[in-house]
Amino acid sequence: IQMTQSPSSLSASVGDSVTMSCRASQSIGDNLSWYQHRPGEPPKLLIYSASNLHTGVPSRFSGSGSGTDFTLTISSLQPVDFATYYCQRTYSTPRTFGQGTKVEIK
Amino acid sequence: EVQLVQSGAEVKQPGESLRISCQGSQYNFINYFITWVRQVPGKGLEWMGWIDPSDSYINYGPSFQGHVTLSVDKSISTAYLQWSSLKASDTAIYYCARTNYYDSGKRTDYWGQGTLVTVSS
């Protein structure tokens, strides 16, 4: 099963709302996680089971979708949110990651 | 607080062997899989595989089967990633992470700080 993210990068300003997509080549139900990865830091779990906010993650992050199409939305971008975001299927193995969406400052 | 502490950066020559480590603390080590993830410079995250510390069950990603070895010493809450003969293409940051395989959310929730492995002649 392949995981395809789009766009590969996007430019946005602080306060903007942004949405990014992740598509699975076969249905994975709601077995999807989203991670934020900032340079020099380990990845950070944001969303699990497609739409559940992980403990301590700000409510401006939200996830939706099931089956093959998923989205991650950041409702009001903050300076700390400029990073690369990865989806990962969490059903069966290999637990493939998408190729990432880089959120850059406009 | 749950912690995964990885061993320090390594610089090796092609053909050399290497073992890096990941020590868990402040949780029951045998109750969570240890996942390994690679990030080649400038590239994305790649799932390498995982090990169940309770019984050493291992599942390797297709790209890594036969190229690396995962192991664990549950007596010291430590997982290992090992190469017998490094290649320049192994240059990357390697992360370990804790995965709750039995949780309905199947969360990979705590990560080590990463170990940079540089392979160069």
Residue A106: predicted pLDDT:
86
**Cross-chain residue pair B108–A31, CB shorter than 8 Å:** no
For residue A20, pLDDT beyond 90: yes
* Residue-wise pLDDT tens digits, B31-89: 999 999 999 999 999 999 999 999 999 999 999 999 999 999 999 999 999 999 999 99
3-state secondary structure of B121: coil
Report chain B's terminal Cα–Cα distance, integer Å: 40
Contacts of B114 in chain A (CB under 8 A): 42
Q: Which two tokens stand for residue A26?
A: 């076969």
Provide, as residue numbers in chain A, all residues whose Cβ is less than 8 Å from the Cβ of B62. 94
Is A49's CB within 8 Å of B104's CB? yes
Q: What's the pLDDT tens digit per position in B51-61?
A: 999 999 999 99
For every residue of B48-110, DSSP letters joined together read EEEEETTTTEEEE-TTTTTT-EEEEEGGGTEEEEEESS--GGG-EEEEEEEE-TTSTT--EEE
What is the count of residue pairs from A and B with beta carbons less than 8 Å apart? 65
Helix/strand/coil (H/E/C) assignment for every residue in A38-102: CCCCCCEEEEECCCEECCCCCCCEEEEEECCEEEEEECCCCHHHCCEEEEEECCCCCCCECCCEE
pLDDT value at residue B62: 96
Percentage, residues of chain A above pLDDT 70:
100
Model confidence pLDDT, tens digit, residues A56-92: 999 999 999 999 999 999 999 999 999 999 999 998 8
A chain contacts of residue B97, beta-carbon cutoff 8 Å? 42-43
Contacts of B112 in chain A (CB under 8 A): 42
Best of B106, B109, B110, B116 to substitute, by most chain A Cβ atoms within 10 angstroms, is: B106
Percent of all residues in chain B with a pLDDT value above 70, rounded to a whole number: 100
Average pLDDT, chain B: 97
What does the pLDDT read at residue A47? 97
Of the partner residues B44, B49, B107, the one whose CB lies closest to the CB of residue A48: B107
How many alpha carbons lie under 13 Å from residue A1 in its C-beta half-sphere? Answer: 24
User: pLDDT at residue B100 above 90?
Assistant: yes
Cross-chain Cβ contact A33/B112 below 8 Å: no
Average pLDDT score over chain A:
96
Q: Is A28 exposed, middle or buried (0-12, 13-18, 19+ CB in 10 A)?
A: buried
Residues on chain B touching A98 (C-beta within 8 angstroms): 44
Shortest CA distance to A22 belongs to which of A92, A89, A95? A89
